[in-house]
Amino acid sequence: GTDLHQAFSFNPANDSLTRLAAPEIGRDYHSEALLLPDGRIITIGGNPLFGNKQDTEPQTFQQRLEVYSPPYLYRGRRPRLTGGPSQVSRGTSPVFTTPDPAAIKTARLIYPGVSTHVTDVTQRSVALTLNRRKGAVGLTIPRQSGLVPAGWWMLFVTNAKGVPSIARWVHVG
């Protein structure tokens, strides 16, 4: 009853917010939003104290979920990584095959969400150095273990329009 049902995208390049499709379900305490490997976002949970605008009626824990498809998924074809290692090491430059290396503009490792109480202290998005090759891209994994802890990561590449690939799971060891 007291939720705003608004969503925005923040653009750090020009410090602006863009309104997105409104969520159907209000999310409060004990709610989560997680990036999925296909680029969509899932929102789950929510435990509001009250269920009306007067804050007099109790509310129950939200058990429905929503899957949101951001606008960047509708800007054309996705870049693809078609092969490469599933185990990578810090300080190396593993090679991943792709049908169109020229179309790939950026690469990132994104640590999967592990949040509690709406806080994820391990969330990371690490930009990778990109080296285009014939039929492939080399991606340099940073050396610093504090920046890239060991574990499973989602590897995304994006094109010039900001369209992401479907993530490849890679284990950093």
What's the pLDDT score for residue 1?
61
Cβ atoms of 120 and 114 within 8 Å: the answer is: yes
Residue-wise pLDDT for 107-125, tens only, equals: 999 999 877 666 777 889 9
pLDDT at residue 172 greater than cutoff 70: yes
Number of H helices, E strands in the chain: 0, 13
**Pairing relation of β-strands 87-88 and 168-172?**
parallel
pTM comes to: 0.87
Task: List beta partners, residue 140.
Answer: 129
Average pLDDT over the chain, rounded to whole?
91
Q: CA separation (Å) from 2 to 21, 51, 54, 60?
A: 18, 7, 8, 13
Q: Vertex 94, ends 89 and 96: CA angle to 5°? A: 135
Q: Vertex 158, ends 23 and 41: CA angle to 5°? A: 20
The structure tokens listed for 4 are: 């705003």
